[in-house]
A and B are shown apart, each in its own frame.
Chain A
Amino acid sequence: MALSNLREYVRPDGLDMALSLVKEKGRSARVIGGGIDLVRSSSPDIETLVDLSQLSLSYVRQTDKGIAIGATTTLTEIVEAPVLNNYLQGVVVEMLRQVGAPSLRNLASMGGTLASAHPWSDVITLFVALGAQVTLYNGVTRMVPLSDLYASRALLSPAIITEALLPAYAHGTAAAFMKFSRTKFDIAILNCACLISTQNGDCESVRLTAGGTPQLAALLPEVAEVLLGRKLSQTSIGQAAEMARETTLVRNDLRASGNYRRELVYAGVKRCLTCVSTHLSGASQ
């Protein structure tokens, strides 16, 4: 048995009860989403698991701020949510279809995926690019940018992720995601995503990310700077991709060398931007 010291499995019927358990038990308690990482972990510290499945946090719904996804929603439920088909050219669905096999997507939850913060996470690379917000509960509810959660993991101690929000974007905004892996469903050797809003064809806002570098997804501000105020063209896309190759921090790990990843960042950024350019030109016709 992997969790050899696990003594309690609790299904609280309220967020306050869940939070008080996490506070009371400290490091020996973990919140369980799909449980994939926890079941495989051999941590002897874990004595209590707090299951959020009774808290009605499984939903994908359109709100006036964007698309809200509850923490216990499985990745399959997100893929199958009709509301995401037309959100930014279906980029979220396209990305999720490349995350693991169906048997894993049926278990993995939104909250668990964000909390686990695997550096290769396709979800995090895209969600950071999309400017996703995450709702945390620590007695009061507050919403923070997802990127802040990774900048300061202290935000999660003690707090419970209850929801992710994908912001609504106006017409003239497009997004793309690109993953490099040995097979379609494998862990990414590197992944990239971008979100671009345009005004009269010029890039008004640009968010680009690269993940699995092998670090967790990070924004590429120098690359975004290359594109701001310019139209997406072969020239500007090529220059942005070159900047990504020069400035993105990459290194070796067991999956790939830093040099290989440097070339992947170039290719990934170029393909993402080309894809966005196609989306935007299609939308303007």
Chain B
Amino acid sequence: MRICLTVNGKKQELDSTPGDTLLHLLRRIGYKGVKKGCESGDCGACAVLLDGRVVNSCLVLAAKADGHCVTTVEGLAGQEKTGELHPVQEAFLEQGAVQCGYCSPGMMIAAVDLLAHNPNPTDQEIKEGISGNLCRCTGYVKQIEAIRIAAKKMRKSADV
């Protein structure tokens, strides 16, 4: 079957099968930033934005995403063709909120959704925002700090 997806702003017609998941489809066409983890919706490594909301792409059939917009971690940087990192990515780098890095794409995608809908989250709200993303290296402290800093940066630039 043919499905139409807009991935990171680029509209694409793609071959798929009815049982194909969005995770497999995205990785097959080269979006390797979408990580394959548990494939049961528990770890969040495969998180993408579907029409601006974070979802586990392993739980979404590609057919269900037909006609919708997907943003992967590759689409966060340079959204306006400036090549600049997203404030969440910058903050993760600055804070060293990465160890092995496998959870980072999903974690950053979840943070982007959180900050889009709650620009000034409390630490508790940040924890809840990334509650679907498991990190087996760190204690989440650096990620929470990074998201707090990204929120501050984004609020500041929104005020300008």
Q: Which residues of A line the B interface, CB within 8 A?
A: 1-4, 6-9, 11, 32, 34-36, 39-40, 49, 51, 53, 76, 97, 100-104, 106-107, 183-185
Verify B55–A103 contact, CB threshold 8 A: yes
> Closest chain B residue to A106 by CB distance?
B53
Which residues of chain A come closer than 8 Å to B55, judged between CB atoms?
A: 103, 106-107
Verify B41–A36 contact, CB threshold 8 A: yes
Verify A76–B18 contact, CB threshold 8 A: no
Which residues of chain B come closer than 8 Å to A1, judged between CB atoms?
A: 17, 19-21, 24
Q: Which residues of B line the A interface, CB within 8 A?
A: 1, 17-21, 24, 40-41, 44, 47, 50, 53-56, 58-61, 63-64, 66, 110, 113-114, 128-129, 131-133
> Closest chain B residue to A38 by CB distance?
B61
Verify B18–A7 contact, CB threshold 8 A: yes
Q: Output the residue of B24, B63, B129 with the most chain A CB within 10 A.
A: B63
In the bound complex, what is the Cα–Cα distance between A234 and B135 (angstroms)? Answer: 44
Verify B129–A2 contact, CB threshold 8 A: no
Given known pairs A1-B20, A9-B18, A101-B44, the reply for A39 and B110 (CB within 8 Å) is no
Which residues of chain A come closer than 8 Å to B110, judged between CB atoms?
A: 102-103
> Closest chain A residue to B23 by CB distance?
A39
Q: Which 5 A-B pairs have the closest CB atoms?
A: A101-B132, A9-B63, A6-B19, A103-B132, A3-B19
Verify A49–B61 contact, CB threshold 8 A: yes
In the bound complex, what is the Cα–Cα distance between A59 and B17 (angstroms)? Answer: 30
Verify B47–A103 contact, CB threshold 8 A: yes
Given known pairs A35-B60, A101-B131, the reply for A76 and B53 (CB within 8 Å) is yes
Minimum CB–CB distance from A151 to chain B (whole Å) comes to 30
21 A-B residue pairings within 8 Å (CB atoms):
A1-B21, A1-B24, A4-B19, A7-B18, A9-B1, A9-B18, A32-B61, A35-B60, A36-B59, A39-B60, A51-B63, A51-B64, A100-B132, A101-B131, A102-B131, A104-B41, A104-B132, A106-B113, A107-B59, A107-B60, A184-B131
